[in-house]
Homo-oligomer: A and B are copies of this chain.
Amino acid sequence: MATPGDGVPECDIAVVGAGLTGSMVALLLARAGHRLTIIEKRADLRADLVTTEFGQMTNPNKRSINLALSHRGIEALKAADLFDRVQPLLIAMEGRCIHSLDGSAKIQPYGHAGQAIYSVARSDLNAFLLDALAATDRITFRFETTVERIQPDGKLTTVDRHGNKQVVSFDMIVGADGAFSSVRDSMSKCSRVNVSQEFLSVGYKELTIQAGSQGEFALASPNNLHIWPRHARGMLIALPNRDRSFTATLFAPWADLDALDADPSSIGAYFTELYPDFVDLIGAPDLVAQVHAAPSSPLVTVKCSPWNTGVVVLLGDAAHAVVPFYGQGMNAGFEDALLFADIWARHARRDVRACLEQFNRERQPAGIALADLSLENFVEMSSKTDSFLFRAKKRVEAVLHAVCPKAWVPLYTMVSFTRTPYDVARRRALVQDRIFYSAIGVVAVASAAAVAVCTGPGRRR
């Protein structure tokens, strides 16, 4: 990577948002020799974290939220020379553990042996990245500062917590401020940016499965992502934490969530009907208290085009907020940062606008495809994971992939274990699906024909 002294100019770059994507792009750009100003509307999240028994950093006033780190995110961490230090924060999840209504559980591996995605606490990882940023000498943090306005020429108007307004010019502004991005809002008012924001008919509540009395995981097979698929009624999932708890998320149609919120006395019956083993796991009184206390939150998909105007560019959720069902939100944000830093390095930082144009051109189709993949995967997780045909297809695809590892790559593998652009992966999976189902058709017809020939009137005569 370039460092100051290569003869290429140093730039003053503002990164709006000190979350995961913002921290990652700031790290990669700081390593390339630029001066970074990080503007974040919230306070420094590290101030409120305490370290719990197993080293996990947790804000005692907030529920721990965890995410699934996979190949794309890992590649970005490696590019920032941080992956080795991140590893202790991770818990491998080698497959899905599907919990049926009758209480039985089946494991479906995600890939071949050794392939896994990793559960990581958002606060752990975010604090780690902020520490890494603070360790460089090229970063100015401005917490509790909101963005009031951006201009395409790089002027940034901010307001700090005392209400002081400031206008500063930057060579480039990176908006990594999440699904409800202020940078995008401001962009969409000063330039022709198409934006759509669409809410899912399903919302969620976050719950916790505490560790057992001996400090053990309360669910067997912790190295899996646990799913209770309940089709049109939604699903429950659980990811393991380092402190031996699980963070569980209930996804349900808004009509159901509104009913639970309006009448807490219905919570017990709802879970007994749909998730009886989960009631046993948590205990009814704790479950009712948790569900009652947990807010029902919405799930939004944001599409935006273009992602750039002048010297301003959007990355991560600000450019493409997706529903969480492919576990790719953070990974896509990290990959945005990685791709962006690569293109930036290739441009030798001499033409900001051309670089942003190129990034938008190369990356935007992937953002749109990921939004669609993420919506489609809700159906897969909540409805297909417990179907026989789906499991059979998974097994056949695993065999095909083992036999012809380049010619046949399951969609989940392309998304989670490669850097195949999301749009390319989606198109390729559609072709593979057509071939797969045509082949099933041919086999079915051939079998029927064979049966007919063997048992037909000709034989009987």
Contact = CB atoms under 8 A, between A and B. Distances in A.
Nearest to A300: B192
Given A180-B189, A185-B185, A189-B180, A197 B195 contact: yes
B194 A194 contact: no
Contact of A196 (B185, B192, B197): B197
A298 interface: yes
A192 B199 contact: yes
Nearest to A199: B192
Nearest to A303: B196
A433 to B, nearest CB: 29
A37 interface: no
A188 B194 contact: no
A443 to B, nearest CB: 43
A273 interface: no
A194 B192 contact: no
A298 B192 contact: yes
Contacts of A199: 192-194
A198 interface: yes
Q: How many copies of this chain does the complex contain?
A: 2
B198 A197 contact: no
Interface string A195-238: 11111000000000000000000000000000000000000000
Contacts of A180: 189
B192 A188 contact: no
Contacts of A254: 192
B192 A195 contact: no
Nearest to A254: B192
Contacts of A188: 197
A188 B196 CA distance: 11
A359 B197 CA distance: 22
Contacts of A192: 199, 254, 298
A198 B194 contact: yes
A256 to B, nearest CB: 15
Interface in A121-150: none
A30 to B, nearest CB: 31
Interface in A149-192: 180, 185, 188-189, 192
12 contacts: A180-B189, A188-B197, A192-B199, A193-B197, A194-B196, A194-B197, A194-B199, A195-B195, A195-B196, A195-B197, A196-B197, A196-B198
Given A185-B185, A192-B298, A194-B197, 8 more contacts: A180-B189, A192-B199, A192-B254, A194-B198, A194-B199, A195-B195, A196-B196, A196-B198
